[in-house]
Amino acid sequence: MTKRSIITIPDPVLREVCAPIATVDDDIRALADDMLETMYDAPGIGLAASQIGILKRIFVLDVAKEDAPKEPMVFINPEIVWSSEDLSVYQEGCLSIPDYFEDVERPAEVAVKFLNREGNAQEIRADGLLATCVQHELDHLNGKLFIDYLSKLKRDRVVKKFTKQAKLAGKL
């Protein structure tokens, strides 16, 4: 397993739409393992492939409580097949927008279809933090970030801040 570096805004890679994965093979499993290692190391509870510059439809997450055993999950070609009308609000953050947190309202429950690490089709119903996390990570695969749900004023402010930081770091 290799730890990869996490891309932060305003890198345009984060706005790319990821492509479906044709075959779940050892390369994809190795990618999933790298992503999990990168996520745990950060530390974070979810990571999408575009966040490490890989434009493939895969994300990983683990929403187990800190003192509980790890529960890594791998979602390949995920698709939300049902969303509840009920909404819930969570304070979200993102490894690509470090140290920035804002409340986001999303469907409280979703059903998601995906291929697991073994390439088997699975469908789960998620609520609570898992539901939010699945939607946040799936958004990444479509080039969407949680700041897109905020007011233009808030979004512009955070993008400006990170753009300035990237310039200072010589990354722009």
SS3 30: helix
* Stretch touching Ni ion by CB under 5 A, among 22-30, 66-74, 86-94, 127-135: 86-94
Catalytic site includes residue 37? no
Q: Which is nearer to Ni ion, 94 or 138 (CB)?
A: 94
Q: Does residue 94 touch Ni ion according to CB under 5 A?
A: yes
DSSP letter for each residue of 88-137: EEEEEEETTEEEEEEEEEEESEEEEEEE-TTS-EEEEEEEHHHHHHHHHH
* Range in contact with Ni ion (rule: CB under 5 A) among 24-32, 68-76, 80-88, 90-98: 90-98
Q: Rule CB under 5 A: which of 106-145 touch Ni ion?
A: none
By beta-carbon proximity to Ni ion, the closer residue of 73 and 94 is 94
Distance CA 32, CA 49 (A): 9
Write down the residue that tokens 């953050």 correspond to. Answer: 93
Angstrom distance (rounded) from CA 93 to CA 128: 16
Q: Which is nearer to Ni ion, 104 or 115 (CB)?
A: 104
- Which residue ranges make up the site for Ni ion (CB under 5 A)? 94
